[in-house]
A and B are shown apart, each in its own frame.
Chain A
Amino acid sequence: MAELLSGLSAVLHWSVLASVLAGALLGIFVGVLPGIGPIVAISICLPFTYGMPPLAGLSLLLGIYCGAFYAGAITSILIRTPGEASSIMTMFDGSPMARRGEAERALSLAFSSAFVGGIVSAAFLALAAPQLARFTAKFGAAEMTCAGLLAAICVCRAYNGRFIEATLMLALGLFIGTIGIDPTSGERRFTFDTTGLMSGLPLVSVSIGMFGMTQGFLMLGMRPRPVDANAIANAGVRWHSFLEPFRHPRTLSRSVLIGLLIGVLPAVGAALSTSLSYFAARRASRNPESFGRGNPEGIIAAEAANNSNSGGAMVTVLTLGIPGDAITAVMMGVFLVHGVFPGPNLFAEKPDLVNGVFIALILINVTILAVLVLLVRYIAMLVRVDPRILGTGILVLCFVGAYSVANSFTNVWIALGFGVFGWFSAQSGLPAVPLVLGMVIGDLFETSLRQALSVSDGSFAIFVTRPMSAVMVVAAALLVFWPLLRVAYQRARGNPAASAVPDPLKEHPDG
């Protein structure tokens, strides 16, 4: 309790409160606008957090992170266009409910389920992170190496059917992260004798390029989609529907739990947690055929899981210093620029910051809900913005964001280079997220690996003789070889055709 009170006093500062509000508003705007994800806004805003206190900077970025997930439901429900990929499942029941004249009920269900998920997620972070930090404080170099390797493999495996492409980009990110001065030996790596590359390629410029600029260029080439003005005019909330999720306690609690557990896993993300939660609710329902036709449990399952991801994702960042996804990878930049290193020591060295994050997350959820309740009718109108004008605005923001990293036009060119590369990569079927994750995980992985091998005089046995690292090595091997094992198992059962996974969405009735 004393720790939480210290966190509360850290949050009750005007810079943090202003950041919470600004982040919530930005996140909501980003979430409503189809085609822009929170990673774009977070990448662009990151350089501006460098002049802020660390807790204020983190609050701004967390506000964007959470706000985008809340607001993605608005367009899913009103105009059947998900604002975020994780809002697709909300659309399946939210849109039919809106079309039969219950848009306010659907929005209220979505917001209140999301609020429950967000608050429980923040509480989970506050309770679980200190315990996990005590456990990870015992990790040595071997365990940290295996944790980094396991995270990298989880990232690649998360791209179903794209393992090779994701591995390519992750390894490329790992290589890019080595450019500059080697922190262990002091040798210059791939600097081509230029002083600009001595400190390596800045993560912010790379993120702005790969996410912000790529998206901005794409939006220039889009045509505006026709929007039903009547659907937008139906935006609003219904007060008694805010309590409706509590009439489905099993669905609500199951969905929050799924979101929390998925959030802890690196790279798996909110889209998978909402799918799993939705289909679990449908399977458990006495009325499964009503899903897809405006069943409130469909909305509750999707939104509760969607918004309980954030706390789980922050657990691995705070306790291990390993980001769970590209968003948390970029957010780690706030820590690093202030000389704060996430990991088990963070809880001992900066307890006010850590506890402040817990309280800020709760405050962010309250702020987002309040803003949505008051302004949802006006926020919904943002969907009418022409994507081409929006794309131009994003590119201007990317310019100033990249420039402000070090008040240097060189970073603008780096961001442009990665923006062009990001677009060509997308055309080539190469995902962008693993590259950024590789840059962030790579530093930890390399340092720990070289330390561990120095201790063992070059013997890799150190990774299998220590219990925790052995467990992680086995888990990593299972993840890599899982498809082969599954096929072999099904053949052994005499069922080779069952290796094809049935597509549950094709069974879904079109509402």
Chain B
Amino acid sequence: MRPDDNASRGDGEERGPDSSVQRVIAVIVTATILLAAAVGYLHAPDQIGGHRSDTVFYESSAFIPRLALAVVAICALIHVARVVRGASLDAGEDLDDTGVDRRTVIGGMALFAAYALLVPVVGYLVGTFVFATATGCIVAVGWRTSIVCALMLSIVSVLVFVVALKVWFPPAAILKLVS
């Protein structure tokens, strides 16, 4: 939390007005939360194994989940209405997204998903190297820098986590295929 949401971050950059794209994202996300909460509230008893409708409310395991979902739905409805009416979308936390390229962020998310799929296939060392190199290329730090940083990152992370801290990774699936 910041003492003043409008204070500069100290380097001359001010937070700009929320874009229309961001507003559309906000409406879609909040509406999705609203819908999910409403559906969850209505179907909560069905999703609780062994639930009995004749149980007193405070002994029911559906009490707190339904209460929480009701609060989520009401707050989401109010928030959607506010966003549509033009309220600020500053979350009031330390996440500084001034000037951040959204496409790169989404590309990073896709790459991470590919990383999670790749590691069981090729192993942690190779998977990390490929992920770090690919990420360096999409964020435009240059392919040489990407490869050098990726090499250092993958070797150091294997030494620290796999060797020193004994985090176990399964053998690469590709090795089983080859053998």
Interface residues of A (CB under 8 A from B): 34-35, 37, 48, 51, 76, 79-82, 84-85, 88-89, 91, 95, 158-162, 164-165, 167-168, 171-172, 174-175, 178, 182, 184-192, 213-218, 220-223, 225, 269, 271-272, 274-275, 386, 388-389, 391-393, 395-397, 399-400, 403-404, 407, 409, 412-413, 416, 419-420, 423-433, 442, 445-446, 449-450, 453-454, 458, 503, 505
Contact = CB atoms under 8 A, between A and B. Distances in A.
21 contacts: A51-B166, A79-B11, A82-B10, A168-B76, A175-B40, A175-B68, A178-B68, A184-B61, A188-B49, A192-B47, A222-B99, A389-B149, A392-B149, A395-B115, A409-B120, A427-B26, A427-B89, A429-B88, A450-B58, A458-B57, A458-B58
Given A185-B61, A409-B119, A431-B92, A400 B2 contact: no
Contacts of A214: 95
A172 B68 contact: yes
Nearest to B102: A221
Given A168-B76, A403-B167, A427-B22, A187 B69 contact: no
Contact of B108 (A225, A386, A391, A425): A391
A168 B9 contact: no
Interface string B54-75: 0011110111110011011001
Contact of B1 (A85, A420, A425): A85
A490 B98 CA distance: 37
A393 B75 CA distance: 36
Interface of B: 1-4, 6-7, 9-11, 22, 25-26, 29-30, 33, 37, 40, 44, 47-51, 56-59, 61-65, 68-69, 71-72, 75-76, 78-79, 82-83, 87-97, 99-105, 107-109, 112-113, 115-116, 119-120, 124, 128, 131-132, 135-136, 138-139, 141, 145, 149, 153-154, 157, 161, 165-169
Given A427-B22, A427-B25, A174 B68 contact: yes
B11 A416 contact: no
A395 B154 CA distance: 12
Given A189-B48, A223-B99, 6 more contacts: A184-B61, A186-B50, A217-B108, A218-B95, A393-B153, A429-B83
Contact of A458 (B3, B56, B90, B112): B56
B4 A505 contact: yes
B26 to A, nearest CB: 4
A82 B119 contact: no
A108 B135 CA distance: 39
Given A213-B112, A423-B105, A446 B49 contact: no
The dominant DSSP class at the A interface is: helix
Contacts of B116: 399, 409, 412-413, 416
A396 B132 contact: yes
Nearest to B26: A428
Contact of A220 (B78, B96, B135): B135
Nearest to A167: B75
B1 A416 contact: no
B68 A275 contact: no
A423 B109 CA distance: 10
Given A35-B96, A167-B75, A400 B68 contact: no
B99 to A, nearest CB: 7
Contacts of B71: 167-168, 171, 174
A87 B92 CA distance: 16
- Pick the 9 closest A-B CB pairs, nearest first: A168-B75, A453-B58, A275-B3, A428-B26, A171-B71, A429-B89, A175-B68, A221-B100, A188-B49
B153 A171 contact: no
A476 to B, nearest CB: 15
A165 B79 contact: yes
Contacts of A275: 3
B72 A175 contact: yes
A37 B95 CA distance: 9
A164 B78 contact: yes
Contacts of B92: 159-162, 431
B11 A225 contact: yes
Contacts of B33: 168, 172
Nearest to A275: B3
Contacts of B82: 164
A404 B10 CA distance: 38
Contacts of A191: 49
A292 B83 CA distance: 36
A407 B162 CA distance: 12
A167 B70 CA distance: 11
B65 A178 contact: yes
Nearest to B154: A396
A407 B1 CA distance: 34
A392 B135 contact: yes
A424 B25 contact: yes
A159 to B, nearest CB: 5
A220 B132 CA distance: 11
Contact of A396 (B1, B56, B157): B157
Contacts of B104: 220-221
Contacts of A158: 1
B103 to A, nearest CB: 8
B100 A400 contact: no
A429 B10 contact: no
B136 to A, nearest CB: 6
Contacts of B112: 213, 217, 395, 399, 416, 419
Contacts of A171: 68-69, 71-72, 75
Contact of A388 (B7, B96, B139, B157): B139
